[in-house]
Chain A
């Protein structure tokens, strides 16, 4: 039953519906809007899923340390985002990192230090890429706090749930998800490159 719930939760995260890029969700602002922002941006949802699946391959102390590293770096990056620092490349780096994480999951090769490094990179890029497009500074801060909470809570849930995917049959589910994540990242990056070349 727990395993079924786990698979359902991970699939639900994978199937998050796309939100308009970095615009506040109509009618929902503040911390709640920030939490939804973190969950409904497909790039963020997919990277959290990938990192959670990778962290789920680690033992409990290493997994929790990885989550703490993510939260610490994410917090710093959100502060930087409040000052509109470093947003330019964050989305592309996040996608590339997610693609590599997907490959690690496919091969089930998840060395602790490497996963921790990816936790830091994902935390940094999600934080920098989370600045909402609103005018009020107070609203920006409230939404960034919400984004941080949403990202941290979802990562913790996915990591703990994906720990359940360590049975042989469900590891296959993780591998398949990893391959899908990498495939999506490759396609999106190539589409973005061509779009940038075309649009200029």
Chain B
């Protein structure tokens, strides 16, 4: 099947290749916006609501990416251990937040996590594995608690949680993918620079400039 349009000249003048049609169809599949049928205060509490929850928090995003970056920088087994530790501890802390148990200094802890993790990447720090896991786990407490407090009670809990956890894991994977550049000399510099940027943004969050 070929669609004739006026501006396309491959594979033949005036035709659209099957590959392009497939791309357009795929793009269309991602295009529809989600209905907010189950919503609380305007936020969807379904899979999509859970998926976007961590992504729309820049302070969370940079820390999650930093975990992946550091894991990739440290190499195996840290490359998978850190992204495994983070969601587990985050979920436990999230449960504490959902249950309404008090925790002080959450925002400070989140900002510090960006500063510390960014600094670790920037400085190419390679502590023992257990120290790295402990550090990441400790910071996951603050992120998890902050998310837990904000989680909407009721509605589609499992779909929301699935989206939430998968988004967190995806951010780690983004960090790991970028961190994989550290196998090359120039990439190593780029990764360390990313660590500097993350730490600086963390300072911005801590001081209120960001």
Contacts and interface: CB of A to CB of B under 8 A. Distances in A.
Interface of A: 14-15, 17-18, 42-43, 46, 106, 172, 175-176, 178-180, 182-184, 186-195, 198-199
Interface residues of B, number: 31
B153 A187 contact: no
Contacts of B88: 106, 179, 182-183
Given A183-B88, A184-B161, 15 more contacts: A15-B166, A17-B47, A18-B156, A43-B158, A106-B84, A179-B88, A184-B162, A187-B91, A187-B98, A187-B157, A190-B95, A194-B98, A194-B100, A195-B157, A198-B153
A179 B166 CA distance: 11
B99 interface: yes
Contact of B166 (A172, A180, A198): A180
A190 B94 contact: yes
B107 to A, nearest CB: 21
Contact of A198 (B87, B148, B154, B160): B154
Given A191-B151, A192-B157, A194-B153, A183 B90 contact: yes
Contact of B83 (A17, A176, A192, A194): A176
A191 B100 CA distance: 11
Contacts, number: 88
B79 to A, nearest CB: 8
A106 B84 CA distance: 8
B153 A191 contact: yes
A83 B46 CA distance: 32
B80 A186 contact: no
B46 A187 contact: no
Contacts of B87: 179-180, 183
A188 B157 contact: yes
Contact of B159 (A18, A106, A178): A18
A186 B144 CA distance: 12
Closest 5 CB pairs of A and B: A190-B95, A183-B91, A18-B159, A186-B91, A187-B161
B92 interface: yes
Contacts of B160: 191
Contacts of B100: 194
B109 interface: no
A175 B87 CA distance: 12
Interface string B90-123: 1110110011100000000000000000000000
Contacts of A190: 94-95, 98-99, 148
A186 B160 CA distance: 13
Contacts of A195: 153-154, 157
B154 A188 contact: no
